């Protein structure tokens, strides 16, 4: 029987990715004819790298002292924009200062197997997260093939460790012991730690009928082509869409992406993050969208996603798992304090945060969300940066013209009324 399909495609690094998954889960359960395909796009990793807050600040201070011409020290550090030749030009640099400045040099990726290991653990965390919600059975698909073409613009020395948020006290204690080992000796211990965490979760989730599976691209294409309708929500790179286009599998897809920006000067990178993951794929997909390859093609740019804040009290209401994700990412609560319950959402009950992916999702699923309106745009290459420009085309852009706060009651109201019906698809 033909089905209505929603494809959720995200990388699960930030709390807004998890919030989007939860809202979609609530909406899909109200429509039994809907099948959600959960796809996780993994990121490159380099196991064993980390920086303390003190090291981050010290490195930034040194960047501002020695390399003011490079601009914003935070952008330089986050992007790993310093080079070894830059350091070698500084005469008389103290050994400790050099050590700190080397954190601003982007390290090489670790082996692909490490990235898959990391991705599998995070995907299993999504399985558990969804299992803790209103549904008890789910498969999540890991798109490991994306690692062949996606580039991580982030300096892996200070990448957020989303893999730690859901760990228990014993797992975190083991992790801390490993991180006290010298680098790179700790790397192999970390691989063993990942395997242990994965084994524990798999044992638990198999009993609940849940699993993480490798994405079978051929099977995905067959499902998409056979579906009555398909809505694709993307909060990761555009690489998977590029693959789908190349096998003529997008003609019945209504595509909604959190991607692009009209002004990248405010971005940490030369491109909006999801574009930066694979600029060539983004360019290709936008060109095909202009040529009407998709049934419809909508994007929610950075300017729009930064207009809406959400009350933590509403996001975490009767949802400890989502609350924990917000505490870890938005409030920067240490994982051990989350695991022991030393810090809870009650300590941040009045906080409000941006949720870019959630805003993009709600623009797609709720008519007129936050007063959003539609315009047209295209993607242009200006000095190596792919930016949006208003222009008549088949690419529709959601825009919100003022700052909005979604309070606790409004969030609960959205969740209770949010549905996925055929007319929207």
Residue 235: closest CA among 411, 28, 41:
41
Torsion angle in degrees (nearest 10) through CA of 102, 106, 112, 113:
30
Please list the alpha-helical segments (H only) found in 102-160: 112-131
- d(CA 86, CA 43) in angstroms, rounded, equals 28
How is the beta sheet containing 404-406 ordered, strand by strand? Answer: 352-354, 308-311, 404-406
Query: CA of 5: how far to CAs of 33, 108, 414, in Å?
Result: 9, 38, 21
Strand, helix or coil at 292? coil
Rg (CA), the chain: 21
Over pLDDT 70: what percentage of the chain? 98
Beta-strand ranges (E) seen in 318-372 are: 352-354
Distance of CA 400 to the CA centre of its chain: 22
| pLDDT at position 423 | 46
Q: Which of 137-141, 144-148, 273-277, 421-425 has the lowest mean pLDDT?
A: 421-425
- d(CA 219, CA 415) in angstroms, rounded, equals 31
Over pLDDT 90: what percentage of the chain? 88
Interval 283-301 mean pLDDT: 97
pTM to 2 decimals?
A: 0.95
């Amino acid at each position: 029987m033909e089905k209505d399909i929603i494809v959720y495609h995200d990388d699960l690094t930030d709390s807004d990715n998890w919030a989007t998954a939860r809202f979609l889960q609530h909406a899909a359960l109200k429509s039994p004819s809907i099948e959600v395909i959960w796809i996780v796009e993994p990121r490159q990793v380099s196991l064993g790298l980390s920086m303390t807050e003190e090291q981050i600040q010290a490195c930034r201070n040194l960047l501002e002292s020695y390399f003011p011409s490079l601009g914003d020290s935070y952008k330089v550090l986050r992007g790993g924009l310093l080079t070894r030749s830059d350091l070698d030009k500084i005469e008389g640099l103290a050994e400790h200062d050099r050590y700190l400045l080397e954190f601003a040099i982007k390290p090489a990726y670790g082996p692909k197997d490490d990235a898959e290991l990391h991705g599998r653990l995070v995907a299993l965390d999504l399985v558990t997260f969804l299992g803790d919600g209103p549904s008890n059975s789910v498969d999540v698909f890991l798109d490991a093939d994306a690692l062949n073409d996606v580039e991580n613009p982030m300096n892996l020395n200070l990448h957020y460790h989303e893999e730690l948020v859901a760990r228990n006290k014993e797992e975190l204690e083991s992790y801390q012991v490993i991180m006290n080992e010298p680098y790179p000796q700790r790397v192999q211990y970390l691989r063993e730690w990942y395997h242990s965490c994965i084994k524990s979760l798999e044992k638990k989730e198999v009993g609940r009928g849940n699993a993480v599976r490798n994405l079978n691209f051929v099977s995905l294409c067959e499902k998409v082509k056979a579906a009555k309708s398909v809505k694709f929500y993307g909060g990761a790179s555009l690489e998977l869409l590029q693959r789908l286009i190349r096998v003529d599998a997008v003609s019945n897809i209504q595509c909604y992406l959190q991607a692009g920006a009209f002004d990248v000067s405010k971005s940490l990178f030369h491109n909006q993050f999801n574009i930066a993951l694979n600029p060539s794929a983004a360019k290709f997909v936008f060109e095909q969208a202009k040529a009407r390859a998709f049934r419809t093609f909508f994007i929610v740019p950075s300017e729009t996603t930064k207009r809406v804040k959400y009350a933590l009290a509403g996001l975490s209401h009767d949802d400890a798992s989502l609350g924990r994700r917000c505490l870890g990412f938005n409030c920067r609560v240490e994982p051990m304090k989350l695991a022991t319950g030393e810090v809870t959402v009650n300590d941040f009950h009045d906080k409000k945060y941006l949720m870019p992916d959630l805003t993009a999702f709600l623009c797609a699923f709720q008519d007129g969300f936050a007063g959003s309106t539609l315009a047209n745009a295209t993607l242009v290459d200006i000095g190596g940066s792919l930016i949006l420009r208003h222009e008549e085309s088949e690419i529709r852009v959601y825009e919100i013209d003022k700052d909005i706060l979604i309070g606790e009651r409004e969030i609960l109201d959205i969740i209770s009324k949010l549905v996925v019906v055929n007319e929207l698809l």
